[in-house]
Structure 1
């Protein structure tokens, strides 16, 4: 299925000069949503995955669906100050600023095989920070998967040490 017609560009969001890739048209279409879920699941064929990490906030949409289908646990990585329990954190640069992510200190167990999921791979800073958090807790990142990659921002280069899969590239 061609998912490109279900992604719309929003100019100057969240800051001037940024073209935001809006996935809500894909999410509201039941067939596109189902097919995207299936395609993301296909990326994990024959992989052992213990935990699926969803990245705040749009990574929370597909990550729990993937976890359920894989018989794995779902873990949230959130922006600083949003998680209620003991956390560890990692700061990083993004296309339009800096941010800090946190994960519960007991979310990943030593040796867990982890799939990291987010909606967009841009500069790679977010995904790299999440991978570092997983590794700090003793987990092994077996793959990062994304709905969209913005290739001109060269985020794949930052993630060169991790297997990655993407549905759409711009």
Structure 2
């Protein structure tokens, strides 16, 4: 559910810019979530830890494999990027089936972080990804049907 209601002109502006791109996300660009994570981390005084697709991060990584609506993938994170007991907010551009958010939470929790909330710009509620989060709070700016 959006904290901002539809009467907010910014939400209307976001909704009118959403479009479906044929054959996306495979093949095509990725890392749209990267646009949102760093400014949020800066605004709340937190560190930013990138979770990326395979072979996008230099150095030693740990990973979590997961299933998406269009196949299998994996997320990688630098070894030692998160320490035991740290609190984490998972930020992504979109939640569809919830596969990517679940993989991110699993990866962070495996190294001892506490995922306190997830945030996405867009939710596709018809795909019921929120259900896979097992009650973890999810902040969504726009629902897209």
Residue 88 of structure 1 is matched in structure 2 by 62
Deviation at 1:79, TM superposition (A): 0.9
TM-score (norm 2): 0.84
Instruction: Go from structure 1 to structure 2 and tell me whether the alpha carbon gap of 1:104 and 1:7 turns closer, same or farther (over 3 Å shift).
Output: same
In 1, Cα distance between equivalents of 2:21 and 2:100: 21
**Residues 132-165 of structure 1: CA deviation (Å, up to 9, x unaligned):** 1110111111110000111111100101231111
Task: Give 3-state SS (helix, strand or coil) of 2:102's partner.
Answer: helix
**Residues 58-116 of structure 1: CA deviation (Å, up to 9, x unaligned):** 11101100011111100100111222122111111112111011111211111111010
- Unpaired runs of 5+ in structure 1? 16-55
Higher strand proportion: 1
- Unpaired runs of 5+ in structure 2? 1-9
In 2, Cα distance between equivalents of 1:161 and 1:140: 14
- 1:71 and 2:82 aligned: no
2:126 pairs, out of 125, 148, 152, with: 152
Residues 1-170 of structure 1 mapped to structure 2, 5 A cutoff:
1=10, 2=12, 3-14=14-25, 57-170=31-144
Aligned length: 130
Contact 1:105–1:137 (CA under 8 A) maintained in structure 2: no
Task: Give 3-state SS (helix, strand or coil) of 1:60's partner.
Answer: helix
The structure with higher relative contact order (CA 8 Å, sep 6+) is 2
Q: How large is the RMSD of aligned CA atoms in angstroms?
A: 1.4
In 2, Cα distance between equivalents of 1:5 and 1:112: 37
Contact 1:148–1:166 (CA under 8 A) maintained in structure 2: yes
